[in-house]
Chains A and B, each alone.
Chain A
């Protein structure tokens, strides 16, 4: 399967390893790029039994897989997480996390100390029903994707309600279980309109500007897009979750490239095999990219479940100012990092 249409990005390396706690991830759903090269990786970690509450956490590490620590855990108390969905960071370096089970936003400082929270379940002002995507706009106000309420809400950093837009539907500007959200340098807002299989672009006030994509598997088409981010040139990166791929669109929404994933071993993975040479030996003898005969109905997902290098559950995308693309895979407990190809725009 082709993994790249335009030579925009090249695979760099992988960060990650399945871990119940400590060094590694557990069903990661998002990453935030903090100060001083710190990555904050948000682990949702099912199933939701008492035994696994400690698996839910934020892992702090670097791009080079230095493990720095972790904070929070599963639960309903202040500072705990149940269904954490997305994570973002404000200009001061504080960390904001949405929670789809507790219907609230929790705030931590850069070291993970709990600072505060707001939100209860509901559809009124200041209420959420499964809050998902988070992003700060140019005024350092927090935009919250209010999933089941099919709207975007805007708050000050301390949770004071400023406004909202959006309603349920499939027309222009309408939303159906939206998930990820991004802001570009001009202040425009992009929403992964998950169940409408499209990305919608709004102005900073929430006025509808454009819609990109339709349902499908072709170039520029989407199946349940979950994450979206925009780079400095205005290119749009989409975690095309249901198609198990990442797509890149030009600033005007034209298709540029698609990536299916090409992960190798992470440093943490390599260290596992140092201690498990017999398993490594079996891996070397095996064909890790077999030809598969799969039902068209679920072939992409099943292909991802069989071939380790492919994205499986690409749920969130982020870009940094060094031209790197980060793809978080919830089912493979890792982040694939890509770099801009030499000579690409």
Chain B
């Protein structure tokens, strides 16, 4: 097992999950890279995502009713931290960014959480199936006004975004295609839309909390007449429109660029895609080919992606999103395994860093990469990570200290820095940064676990070093 093997496995788990502790990485390394990719690609073969989800609902009573957005955010973050199906949860986060649906308009966070659950079920399957499910998703129907699109009065919001932001991208269809697409989705609505619209309008949670919504297909409100869409003609319904969309090379390209931007390396944002070519056109072509060859099967595309050299060579080529920062650091530090009062801080901190889960800023989702970073969000990121590692009794912190101690009872500052950087990633920092870390540690001499009963002091010094490491530029990268 080489250092580069460990680094590559850590890279895979940062991208296909939310990072892995050293003991987890060692297990993955023992089975090998490709076998690990296969394990990640098949969450349905893994144990249930959580050991006992009822625990959350028992202790966080608000995460049983899921009436408030921060309760729903905390529930999801808890899942991300503790899931035994890391890629399933990461795909849900990915699709949440693509099919961005926001609380601000819906006033019903549990319903968006229901959409996230749908992403878990279908996120690694056929993109065709996923688009059908998205089109039937009550939160999406409300979000993009398809409940207001009728046979005799078309609302084009969903039809437009299906083409512009969910499949093909601007420049690959006409205004008439938008209209025909919208006609095909008339009748795709939610049951008792009028009641739910009235409740949402006043954010009514009365008398007894929220009521879930259900998809309803109303044949009597569906425009079944002939339509001309992307060169095809017929009395299309929504599913047939999705058939045509999936066959478009533009769809393969659009999804390939999204997957590359989320899982491989930061790219220009979606609005620029019409004019700015991808950084790595060959990689995009590879993903497009897989999408088409495997009939839109996302699992097959992800298999190609994770096994490609362009992925393996893209270590630390992305800025961590706030969710990745919060969940990855919480996993590194340990804790948040059993429901506790301070779990809510996870949701608050993710928001402070610029990512209100379940409430993206627009239908376009979040702008990612360097746009995550500004002076305020950087401060939030560093402070959060530093606080997470501030306790030597946290299991993750304790494990790192034990790994340092296993290398000797008296260690030079340079060795301690290198061991910590290794266990925390492995993380490679600039030589200047490493030297600053060494200098800081060296101010109090070697790290001595035994002399003069100094082990407490040694642990505290290592804890302080870890807090400095998470403040480095390199720790901001995935």
Contact = CB atoms under 8 A, between A and B. Distances in A.
A21 interface: no
Contacts of B192: 282, 285-287, 290
A220 interface: no
Interface string A177-198: 1010000000000000011000
B7 interface: no
A49 B210 CA distance: 21
B123 to A, nearest CB: 16
Interface string A324-342: 0000001111100000000
B194 A330 contact: no
A47 B74 contact: yes
Contact of A302 (B65, B194, B212, B344): B212
A18 B110 CA distance: 17
A292 interface: yes
A47 B209 contact: no
A279 B61 contact: no
Contacts of B386: none
Contact of B59 (A18, A83, A266, A279): A83
A47 B206 contact: no
Contact of B344 (A47, A285, A287): A47
B195 A18 contact: no
Given A101-B341, A224-B54, A17 B207 contact: yes
Interface residues of A, number: 53
B202 A279 contact: yes
B456 interface: no
Interface in B217-257: none
A247 B56 CA distance: 24
Interface stretch (A133-141, A150-158, A227-235, A304-312): A304-312
A263 B207 CA distance: 11
A11 interface: no
Nearest to B121: A295
Contacts of B58: 177, 179, 194, 224, 226
A217 to B, nearest CB: 14
A319 B179 CA distance: 61
Interface string B50-86: 0010100111111111011011001000000000000
B214 A16 contact: no
Contact of A45 (B62, B74, B208, B210): B62
A290 B192 CA distance: 10
B71 A330 contact: no
Given A290-B214, A306-B214, A18 B208 contact: yes
Given A224-B58, A287-B191, A313-B61, A292 B208 contact: no
B191 A305 contact: no
Contacts of A27: 61-62, 65
Interface in A287-321: 287, 290, 292-293, 302, 305-306, 308, 312-313, 315
B412 interface: no
A272 B204 CA distance: 11
A49 B214 CA distance: 31
Contacts of A333: 208-209
A242 B54 contact: yes
A100 B211 CA distance: 29
Interface string A14-34: 001110000000010100000
B212 A305 contact: yes
B205 interface: yes
A306 B98 CA distance: 27
Of B71, B199, B202, B341, which is in contact with the most chain A CB atoms at under 10 Å from its CB?
B341
Interface in A1-55: 16-18, 27, 29, 44-49
A43 to B, nearest CB: 10
B443 interface: no
B444 interface: no
A268 interface: yes
Interface of B: 52, 54, 57-65, 67-68, 70-71, 74, 110, 191-192, 194-195, 198-199, 202, 204-212, 214, 341-344, 347-348
11 contacts: A101-B341, A179-B58, A194-B58, A276-B204, A279-B204, A283-B195, A285-B192, A287-B191, A331-B209, A333-B209, A334-B207
Which 10 A-B pairs rank lowest in CB-CB distance, beginning with the nearest? A46-B62, A269-B207, A331-B65, A286-B192, A286-B195, A282-B195, A306-B212, A332-B208, A305-B212, A27-B61
